[in-house]
Homo-oligomer: A and B are copies of this chain.
Amino acid sequence: MEVVDQLADERIKAQFDVEEMKIVWAGSRHALEVSDRISRLVASDPAFRKDNRTMLGRKELFKNTLRKAAHAWKRIIELRLSEEEASRLRFYVDEPAFTDLHWGMFVPAIKGQGTEEQQQKWLPLAYKMQIIGCYAQTELGHGSNVQGLETTATFDPQTDEFIIHSPTLTSSKWWPGGLGKISTHAVVYARLITDRQDHGVHGFIVQLRSLDDHLPLPGITVGDIGMKFGNGAYNTMDNGVLRFDHVRVPRNQMLMRVSQVTREGKYMQSNVPRQLVYGTMVFVRQTIVADASCALSRAVCIATRYSAVRRQFGSQNGVETQVIDYKTQQARLFPLLASAYAFRFVGEWLKWLYTDVTQRLQANDFSTLPEAHACTAGLKSLTTSATADGIEECRKLCGGHGYLCSSGLPELFAVYVPACTYEGDNVVLLLQVARHLMKTVSQLGSGKKPVGTTSYMGRVEQLVQYRSNVQKAEHWLQPNVILEAFEARAASMSVACAENLSKFSNPEEGFQELSADLVEAAVAHCQLIVVSKFIEKLQQDIPGKGVRQQLAILCNVYALFLLHKHLGDFISTGCITPKQAALANDQLRSLYSQVRPNAILLVDAFNYTDHFLGSVLGRYDGNVYPKLYEEAWKDPLNDSVVPDGYHEYVLPMLKQQLRSARL
């Protein structure tokens, strides 16, 4: 077949250096080089083919994932890949697998919560995959509320062992990935009980399956929890159920870095600060924000390319208009494109924040921790919710064909949405942010200066009085104009909540009653963070022809889109007038026109291979229709012209012989 590039005209139009933009997106020249090399490695290896995934039954699908995981590990060893490269390789294989939990949760749990001795014993086994581990926290009846877990670990001083037990049905471990069929070990979270005293939830390393025949050890009931959303999606993962019937583990398998149980059964705290666990949380949530920008950019890349290929209505000279030229399409698509970049940069900043927090913790400085914790919780919530909704919006932006699995979008959505629930339900997290905001407001009088992302609260008296002085649409292009409006809105909403709360005699009751408003105040605060970090990014040195200009356009699109979406907040707090809002809207339309010619290269800059995108609609060459047609015939239903079941069920119907048929 001849080489086609249906999007060549689009690529000529663009006004910036896409190669330099790729570096900005990747984070550094080095990061781009690694990503590029590893993604091509995966794409060119037929063992990592994934286009048949949605047609497989559960067993085949799962076996296929085991094969890929083994192949990936083999390649990692053969090519002597670095940790960074290995992690990129697993990422580009793009299929949830037990290895995600082994590397992403089991190993970090031991590193973070195990003593030196425990690390020396367990980590080498885990690094070589001589054992495979998972992270068994969530229970059938207990998710968000970790303190409500029911599994018990009772110390038996007679044998120097813990007895791990599931006292109720709802205490069954439920959801842990890799648990159902593969893991040999787990870090199990259970209520520590010594001498009838409950010390709350602690982690224990528990072997689940024999290393010889893979059978569950005595007292352990374990299995898969069944099908989940989507065709392939997370069904490649063995999320599991696990019950313990008085299972004994040696005392030294309790993770003892922070607290210990002595040989005599005495419970003790070490001098390691408990706050360290928050450091881990900051780390994990930073990864989730980075993943959000990745998932959203994939969806946007598919929808943008297909919007340039697809034509509907508006026939001129017999050729219909490209869908991407419609303002309604732009008004839905370009804010998502801008959001993908915005989330990328705030994710980059969170990496810095994690380093900063870690260094401070090591110096016993806990002063920024509550703010950092609230900030990462809020950003996790904001970016994952926007990404889940954004992927589905991109699917709708592709019209009917977005509903086909070959578009890649249904799987992307189904595999992404759990991010809104795991590692903290998004609404629960926003309430945590709101608590922090209310605390910050209440401490303003006491002279305690708000830090980091809440430092604007120090100017709260000015901010609640703030009135924007925008008079022309172009004024909305000034970063300080945008920043002030977002600060004023966020501060005013927090202050209003605090005032309403103060009317309640019972503050906790007030917090419950006003929680929906508090969530909105938290969202306003988090959006301010994303906008301000995007603006800070633009103040850095950004080389490459036109690159900074394009990013400035996207930053403005992101901010003005939010302003329009949350207009009620901005106007009712008095920060801006309806007239100024209308000017912002005019400016936004004009920004869309500026994005339009650059749209294709702005998604090319993500540097995704066609293999990784996994979408006929998002193909780099835009050669959509012939490939859609080709893909259709691969469906198992097309194996035969007359389908299975025709003779038993359809023919008797057509021949009016149903009455006598046995179905």
Contacts and interface: CB of A to CB of B under 8 A. Distances in A.
Interface of A: 47, 54-60, 62-63, 66-67, 69-71, 73-74, 77-78, 128-132, 138, 140-145, 148, 169-170, 172, 175, 180-182, 184, 211, 213-216, 223-231, 234, 238, 241, 311-313, 315, 320, 326-328, 331-332, 392, 396, 399-400, 402-406, 410, 414, 417-418, 420-422, 425-427, 431, 512-517, 519, 564, 566-574, 578, 581-582, 585, 589, 625-626, 628-629, 631-639, 641-646, 648-654, 656, 658-659, 661, 663
Tallying the copies of this chain within the complex gives 2
B410 A144 contact: no
Contacts of A327: 512-516
A66 B643 contact: yes
B421 A144 contact: no
A229 B403 contact: yes
A227 B54 contact: yes
29 contacts: A55-B58, A55-B227, A58-B635, A59-B636, A59-B637, A59-B644, A66-B649, A70-B663, A71-B663, A73-B658, A132-B653, A141-B625, A144-B399, A145-B312, A169-B625, A211-B654, A213-B642, A223-B633, A224-B635, A227-B231, A228-B403, A229-B410, A229-B414, A328-B516, A400-B421, A403-B417, A568-B571, A572-B582, A574-B578
A573 B582 CA distance: 11
Q: Which are the 3 A-B pairs with shortest beta-carbon distances?
A: A567-B568, A572-B578, A63-B645
A547 to B, nearest CB: 28
B653 A404 contact: no
A585 B572 CA distance: 13
Given A59-B637, A148-B312, A658 B70 contact: yes
Contact of A625 (B144, B170, B628): B170
Contacts of A639: 59
Contact of A631 (B130, B226, B570): B226
Given A516-B589, A638-B224, A649 B328 contact: no
A641 B571 contact: no
Binding site secondary structure of chain A: helix
Contacts of A648: 66-67, 70
Given A226-B406, A567-B567, A650-B66, A661 B74 contact: yes
A58 B572 contact: no
A217 B138 CA distance: 57
A404 B313 CA distance: 40
A141 B629 CA distance: 11
A403 B571 CA distance: 38
B400 A422 contact: yes
A421 B395 CA distance: 11
A533 B662 CA distance: 49
Contact of A414 (B130, B223, B331, B410): B410
B405 A66 contact: no
Nearest to A513: B327
